[in-house]
Amino acid sequence: MALTEWTDRLRIPAIAAPMTDVSGPDLVAEACCAGVVGAFPSHNAASSSELERWLAEINERRAHVGTGTQAAPVAVNLVVHPTNSRLDSDLRAVLSGGVEVVITSVGSPRSIVGPLHDAGVTVLADVASIHHARRAIDAGVDGVVLLTAGAGGQTGWANAFAFTRAARDEFDGMVVLAGGVSDGAGILAARVLGADLAYLGTRFIATTESLAPAAYRAGVVAASLDDVATTTQVTGLAANVLSEWLRGVDPAMGGGHDSEAGFSVDRLLSQRGVWAAGHSVSGTDRVLPVAELVALLDRELREARSRLLAAAFTQVEND
């Protein structure tokens, strides 16, 4: 597995995924201080100037994580689609803001890999197929984020087991598994499959530091995976959202596309207040502060490892 030096600073091998209208400075700073990568989309900041201010605030808070402790990295999600008029200015903000990880989505990262690598930034790319993964690898990324079936917001369709194993066969760089991971057992399962890190978004919607309104958080807590629907009405790309929210959406707002042809950044930003969520709502049963959630995930991960070791020991005894 391809780990970098910053992974040694993680309490658990996880990224708090970047979520539109959900991930802000409070959530990201708390995640980094708690020991997971804190990520947010650059477009959550109203402008590139605000993005610079957000990064300065987050870094200030990360600097006070505690004596002898180094905070986990900040990751910024950059939409690299040609319709993103802010890409160049957001990239400059990222390069000046001391960001250690960039996650690209909706398009080829080729044009920004060079400047990011020159600054020592790890570049990950969202992918939903082996074809997309190969293109990202050819573009020079350090790792891929596998959007599997059940991921919240922009989602994939591939089975997590098959996709992770196929990606690991293709690529010796960093592999991050996104989709349906809600607890420590899921994080361990991702590692056993060959992923370096797990991507958790839905669990972090239901945190006190989330930008999500109270009704949205309550909807996530109340939902089961049966209450998650896949739609192209939001951005033109397949996305998982809460059915409760989707029932109130005007069918005319979206097209019938499931490709980048139906996507634009303006369209994404015009659909604010979307209740995105993944299948991991079934493992989200209450709203917690980020620090408590990370501590819970850490405990669950340790317990899952213990169960796995006990099962392996029992199998050895029986052989």
Convert the pLDDT of each residue in 201-228 to its tens digit. Answer: 999 999 999 999 999 999 999 999 999 9
pLDDT at 202: 96
Chain segment 143-162, per-residue pLDDT in tens = 999 999 999 988 999 999 99
Give yes or no for residue 76 having a pLDDT over 60. yes
Residue 124, classed as helix, strand or coil, is strand
Q: How far apart are the first and last CA of the chain?
A: 30
In the predicted model, what is the mean pLDDT of the chain?
Answer: 89
Burial class (CB in 10 A: 0-12, 13-18, 19+), 44: buried
239-242 sheet: strands from edge to edge: 153-154, 239-242, 228-231
Q: What is the pLDDT of residues 177-187, one digit of tens each?
A: 999 999 999 99
pLDDT of the residue at 309: 79
Q: Cα separation of 246 and 234, whole Å?
A: 9
How does DSSP classify residue 73? P
> What is the rounded distance in angstroms from the CA atom of residue 94 to the CA atom of residue 48?
9
CATH architecture of the domain covering 5-216+275-318: Alpha-Beta Barrel (3.20)
Cα separations in angstroms, 24 against 40, 105, 107, 136, 244: 7, 18, 24, 27, 24
Q: d(Cα 40, Cα 22) in Å, to the nearest integer?
A: 8
For the stretch 42-75, pLDDT in tens is 999 999 999 999 999 999 999 887 655 789 999 9
Identify the band that residue 262 occupies on the pLDDT scale cut at 50, 70 and 90.
low
- Sorted by where each begins, the domain ranges of the chain are 5-216+275-318
Give the pair of three-digit tokens for residue 288. Answer: 């917690």
Q: Average pLDDT in the 95-116 region?
A: 95
Q: Quickly state the pLDDT bin for 98 (edges 50, 70, 90).
A: very high
Residue 191 near residue 185 (C-beta atoms within 8 A): no
Please say if the pLDDT value at position 21 is more than 50.
Answer: yes
Q: Are 280 and 182 in contact (CB under 8 A)?
A: yes
Distance CA(90)–CA(50), nearest Å, equals: 10
Q: Residue 1 — very low, low, confident or very high, per pLDDT cuts 50/70/90? A: very low
Per-residue pLDDT at 313: 61
Q: Quick one: pLDDT at residue 254?
A: 43
Rounded distance between C-alpha atoms, residue 299 and residue 307, angstroms: 12
Tokens linked to 42: 């650059």
So what's the pLDDT on residue 257?
38
Report residue 233: phi and psi, to 5°. -75, -20
The token pair that represents 146 in the structure block: 């596998």
Tell me how far apart the alpha carbons of residues 242 and 286 are, in angstroms, rounded to a whole number: 16
Dihedral (C-alpha) 254, 89, 48, 105: value to the nearest 10 degrees? 40
Q: What is the pLDDT of residues 29-48, one digit of tens each?
A: 999 999 999 999 999 999 99
pLDDT value at 256 more than 50: no
